[in-house]
A and B are shown apart, each in its own frame.
Chain A
Amino acid sequence: MVCALGLSGLLMAAGAAWAAPPPFEQKMSLLERFLKQSATSEQVGREGSEALRASLEKTRALRDEARKLYDAGETAMAMQRIDQAIQQAARLSQSNAGPDKRSWNQQVRFEGLMAGVAAFADAYQRNLSALAAEPNRGQGSVPPPISPAEIVQRVEQAQALAGKGDLEAANTLLTDVQNQLVSALRGMLNHKTLVHELKFATPEHEYRYELERFSGLETVLNMALSRATIDENGRRFIQEQMEKSRTLHQEAERSAAGGKFQEAIGTLEKANEYLSRVMNMAGMGFP
């Protein structure tokens, strides 16, 4: 099918993709595809050695565990588990040196290239507009010409090739497109400094930022505590400090619920300071 979609369509598609399914589900679907549809898993299940079969079983077990953790809200651990499962799957297809190994690698590469091209095309478009808006465009910084129509055409061509099963040719084509985009971006951005200012639209946004810090720091600390070798006294002290920070956190939540965000921010900042100090105690190298 010939697709009459302009670069902006491709870019919109790329943009939409970032907001698309959570990473866990994305990984899960790739893994499921391997487990349910790949020649490797079929072949191993049918005639694989004992070790290979055990490896396949382990992949399935890791997947199940990942799903359970994810459903229980343990997202970070679920992500770790699914990564382990995917690594196990990749190793399996490596050790099963059949044609499937090649296609698995090519397929992963194809998908990676598609994502890369979409992301860089987006950055390219954005920077082109920014450059056009600059009052005195630097003479030396004219980007090498690369036509958006050509990007779209070549991406379509690569997809057609992939559709016919010629992933290798598709990947060669996409690598070339990606290289062109990267060199265009280098031409536009080299020797620049871009500043991302930390600005909060409303006090509530700032409060959310501190809240995220709080829960992040608490998670890290709990992980560190469950494992670090800290003596009884140290442990008690750390727990006291964490207790204080939790009290402050609750106080902040009350202020925020009453709409007093400025007050809530101040309280939460104090809580975060406690936690940062405790990080040091737990040997996390925070000054």
Chain B
Amino acid sequence: MKRLFPITPALLCLLGGLSIAVVEAAAPADPPAKTEAAPAASAAQVNTFNRLMTPKSDRNQPPPLDGIHDPEGPGTKTLQAPRDAFSALPKSSGGNYVNWVQALKDKAINPRYDRLNPKEEPMIMELDIVREVKGFMPDVVYPHDRHTQWLDCSNCHPDIFVPQKGANTISMAQILMGQKCGVCHGKVAFPVSECRLCHSKKKDQALLKK
């Protein structure tokens, strides 16, 4: 899953003259075969990027019908349908109904960390970042470990998040619109409907009453 994301920021730092330009670009090393959404359909992207929030009956469609793979592609029909593929994996209550964190932990899946190098191992970092939330909603705990098992630091830093606690503004609206955590959550990781997975740190009741 290394370099899963095409977005790469570019920093041209000319140290000599100290003139700085930052260029952020989305240039996939391996562009997906899929055709992108037609611009005309873009006025209402919320449910499009939150594709895992489609009605339960419509989820995990076979590849030719899932809206992700090219139905005309010669390989599409040979892919295993997710409903079969997922049947032996630990279940969850949302998204594509697989608890991927558990699946990895149980070794029910054994994903390659690097597409080209089967021996490459992830560099796991165990650092939790807690982001306090106003009111009664439990605080958000962002766990590095459960991300770095699959992802490279550069999938998030510095393009999606500056690596500094609190330096990034994050809101639910942004997440729903496919930004920040929503770059993945709702698309390739569990969707926004699973509040408690992110909002996992209960507030001190005594403090709340104050």
A residues with a Cβ closer than 8 A to B are: 1, 3, 5, 9-10, 13-14, 16-18, 20-21, 23, 26-27, 29-31, 62, 65, 76-77, 80-81, 83-84, 86-91, 94, 104-105, 107-112, 114-116, 118-120, 122-123, 126, 155-156, 159, 178, 182-183, 185-186, 189-198, 209, 212-213, 215-217, 219-220, 223-224, 226-228, 269, 283-285, 287
With an 8 A cutoff between CB atoms, is B79 at the interface? no
Q: How far is the CB of B137 from chain A (nearest CB, A)?
A: 10
Query: Whole-angstrom distance from the CB of B8 to the nearest CB of chain A?
Result: 4
Query: Does B24 belong to the interface (CB within 8 Å)?
Result: yes
Tell me, in angstroms, the Cα distance from A80 to B20 when the chains sit together.
25
Q: How far is the CA of A185 from the CA of B153 in the complex (A)?
A: 11
- B164 located at the interface, meaning its Cβ lies under 8 Å from any Cβ of chain A in the complex: yes
Interface residues on B, range: 35 or more
Write the chain B residue with the least CB distance to A90.
B27
**Which residues from chain A contact B174 at a C-beta distance below 8 Å?**
216
Listed in ascending order, the chain B residues whose CB lies under 8 Å from chain A are 6-16, 18, 20-31, 36, 39, 42-47, 53, 123, 125-135, 153-154, 157-159, 162-166, 169, 171-174, 176-177, 191-193, 195
**For chains A and B in complex, what number of residue pairs have CB atoms within 8 angstroms?**
229
Task: Flag if A119 contacts B10 (CB, 8 Å).
Answer: no
Distance in angstroms between the alpha carbons of A26 and B176 in the assembled complex: 24
B133 pairs with A115, CB closer than 8 A = no
Q: Closest approach, in angstroms, between the C-beta of A279 and any C-beta of chain B?
A: 8
Is the pair A223, B11 in contact by a Cβ cutoff of 8 Å? no
A119–B162 touching, CB < 8 Å: yes
Q: With A80-B42, A194-B127 given, is the CB distance from A30 to B25 under 8 Å? A: yes
Contact A226 B43 (CB under 8 A): yes
User: Residues of B contacting A182 with CB < 8 Å?
Assistant: 123, 153
Would B27 and A190 count as touching, CB distance under 8 A? no
B173 touches A284 (CB 8 A): no
Q: In the complex the two chains form, what is the Cα distance from A26 to B24 in whole Å?
A: 5
Q: Is the CB of A111 within 8 A of B129?
A: no
Give the Cβ gap from B182 to chain A, nearest Cβ, in Å. Answer: 10
Cβ–Cβ contact B164 & A126, under 8 A: yes
Provide the residues of chain B in CB contact with A156, threshold 8 Å.
Answer: 15
Contact B131 A196 (CB under 8 A): yes
With A5-B18, A284-B46, A284-B176 as contacts: A116 and B130 at CB distance below 8 Å: no
Measured between beta carbons, the chain B residues less than 8 angstroms from A185 are 125, 163
Can you offer 18 A-B residue contacts whose CB atoms are under 8 A? Answer: A9-B18, A13-B15, A17-B13, A17-B22, A21-B22, A26-B23, A30-B27, A76-B177, A87-B36, A108-B8, A111-B25, A112-B8, A119-B163, A122-B163, A182-B153, A198-B132, A223-B43, A287-B195
The distance from the CB of A30 to the nearest CB of chain B, in whole angstroms, is 4
Question: Which A residues are in CB contact (< 8 Å) with B7?
Answer: 83
3 cross-chain pairs, A with B, having the tightest CB-CB distances, nearest first? A111-B10, A216-B173, A227-B44
Query: How far does the alpha carbon of A219 sit from the alpha carbon of B36 in the complex, in Å?
Result: 23
- Known contacts A3-B15, A30-B25: does B125 contact A189 (CB below 8 Å)? yes
- Inter-subunit contact B163/A123 (CB<8 Å): yes
Most buried by A among B22, B158, B169: B22
Task: Report the separation of the CA atoms of residues A21 and B24 in the bound assembly, to the nearest whole angstrom.
Answer: 10
Bound state CA distance, A224 and B49, in angstroms?
11
Q: How far is the CA of A21 from the CA of B10 in the complex (A)?
A: 12
Contacts of A87 in B (CB 8 A): 6, 26-28, 31, 36
Task: Judge whether A195 and B173 touch: CB under 8 Å.
Answer: no
Are the CB atoms of B125 and A10 closer together than 8 Å? no
Q: Give the one of A23, A119, A215 with max B CB within 10 A.
A: A119
Question: How long is the Cα–Cα vector from A119 to B135 in the complex, in angstroms?
Answer: 32
CB-CB under 8 A from A195, the residues of chain B are 129-130, 132, 165
Q: Which residues does chain A contribute within 8 Å of B10, judged by CB atoms?
A: 26, 30, 107-108, 110-112, 114-115
Taking CB as reference atom, which chain A residue is nearest B129? A194
Instruction: Given A80-B45, A119-B158, A197-B132, answer yes or no on A86-B123 (Cβ-Cβ < 8 Å).
Output: no
- Tell me the complex Cα distance, A268–B145, Å: 37
- Given known A-B contacts A94-B31, A198-B134, A217-B173, A86 and B26 have beta carbons under 8 A apart: yes
